């Protein structure tokens, strides 16, 4: 088991890497010469993504060269089954960034023995740094944070997102979005999974669910939510599986209710009857 001192060291490394990459994102802000698509429509990549990732990789290689890395742009570096696996997203919210919409962040997480245990998320445009490590608590700009206490869906504010393959599959989250919008005070969509989790962790939002995610999208945020007193599971309230691509994260108080509603969302074809 990794001891608290080691976790603190890893957290400091994650923080240093996230902030250095954030400086790269600020440098390229509003100065992009080209925006490319990686395959699916809307799945964008820019020079800022690539340079920010290069900055993080260089830092990790300097501090922990023996650790494996899973990076959004570079893919797998080292053995994915290693005890220590860094999951990094150098620019979570590339579409926002390309449009100069300041909901974007750097996410640096460390998975230890298959479980996310360290995370740093930095939004350089709001200068917000979120940090957490297992057993060490969660902070925003070095101040402790905690999830909200909202216990009723009718009083909650949720957040979600839509995967890049939403044009190609019926499993696209549209029905869930509409259904839960009618049961709550609203459902937001920021375009950055890491910031969605950070906002749940600091109590701005009460719950978050999404599908089609990669480990680098959520590894850091999972630690934040759990260390801030929240709960992270699969949709059906079973144990969260990082590789599943699906996540349900809440303040804990409304977790069971939100899980239950997610599992009984009617298809869009019957929506008129549901809200009529």
50, 94, 196 from 46: Cα distances, Å:
7, 8, 22
Residue recorded with tokens 């740094």 = 129
Listed residue (61, 82, 81) closest to 13, CA to CA: 61
Tell me how far apart the alpha carbons of residues 124 and 82 are, in angstroms, rounded to a whole number.
Answer: 31
Instruction: Report d(CA 39, CA 168) in Å as an integer.
Output: 13
What residue ranges define each of the domains in the chain, with the CATH number in brackets? 4-144 (3.30.540.10), 153-275 (3.40.190.80)
**How far, CA to CA in Å, does 109 sit from each of 9, 101, 121, 151, 222?**
13, 24, 8, 29, 9
Query: What is the structure's pLDDT at 274?
Result: 47
Three-state SS string across 36-70, please? Answer: EECCCCCCEEEHHHHHHHHHHHHHHHHHCCCCEEE
Q: What is the pLDDT along the chain (276 residues), one digit of tens a residue?
A: 689 999 999 999 999 999 999 999 999 998 877 666 655 555 567 888 899 999 999 999 999 999 999 998 888 999 888 999 999 999 999 999 999 999 999 999 999 999 999 999 999 999 999 999 999 999 999 999 999 999 999 999 999 999 766 556 666 789 999 999 999 999 999 999 999 999 999 999 999 999 999 999 999 999 999 999 999 999 999 999 999 999 999 999 999 999 999 999 977 666 555 444
Q: What is the DSSP string of the chain?
A: ---HHHHHHHHHHHHHHHHHHHHHHHHHTT--S-EEE-SSTT-EEEHHHHHHHHHHHHHHHHH-TTSEEEETTTEEES-TTSSEEEEEEEEETHHHHHTT-S--EEEEEEEETTEEEEEEEEETTTTEEEEEETTTEEEETTEE--------GGG--EEE---GGGGT-S-SSHHHHHHHHHHSS-EE--S-HHHHHHHHHTTS-SEEEESS--HHHHHHHHHHHHHTT-EEE-TTSSB--GGGS-EEEE-STTHHHHHHHHHTPPPGGGHHHHH-
Q: For residue 116, which of 235, 26, 201, 184 has the smallest C-alpha distance?
A: 201
CB 131 within 8 A of CB 139: yes
At 270 the pLDDT is 62
Check residue 266 and give its pLDDT: 79
Give the model's pLDDT for residue 42: 53
């Amino acid at each position: 088991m990794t001891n608290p001192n080691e976790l603190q060291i890893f957290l400091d490394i994650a923080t240093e890497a996230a902030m250095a990459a954030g400086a790269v994102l600020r440098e390229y802000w509003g100065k992009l010469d080209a925006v490319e698509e990686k395959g699916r429509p809307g799945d964008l990549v820019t020079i800022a993504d690539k340079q920010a990732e290069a900055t993080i990789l260089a830092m990790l290689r300097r501090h922990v060269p023996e650790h494996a890395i899973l990076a959004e742009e570079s893919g797998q570096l080292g053995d994915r089954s290693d005890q220590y696996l860094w999951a990094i997203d150098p620019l979570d919210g590339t579409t926002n960034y390309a449009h100069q919409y300041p909901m974007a962040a750097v996410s640096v997480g460390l998975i230890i023995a298959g479980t996310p245990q360290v995370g740093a998320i930095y939004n350089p445009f709001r200068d917000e740094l979120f940090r957490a490590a297992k057993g060490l608590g969660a902070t925003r700009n070095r101040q402790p944070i905690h999830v909200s206490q909202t216990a009723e869906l009718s009083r909650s504010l949720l957040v979600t997102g839509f995967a890049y393959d939403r044009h190609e599959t019926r499993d696209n989250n549209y029905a869930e979005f509409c259904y839960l919008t009618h049961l709550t005070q609203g459902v937001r969509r920021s375009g950055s999974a890491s910031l969605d989790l950070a906002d749940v962790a600091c109590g701005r939002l009460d719950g978050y669910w999404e599908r089609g995610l990669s480990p680098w999208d959520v590894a850091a945020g999972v630690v934040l939510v759990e260390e801030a007193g929240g709960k992270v599971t699969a949709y059906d309230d079973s144990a969260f599986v990082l590789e599943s691509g699906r996540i349900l994260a809440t303040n804990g108080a409304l977790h069971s209710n939100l899980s239950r509603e997610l599992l009984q969302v009617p298809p869009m074809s019957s929506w008129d009857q549901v809200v009529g």
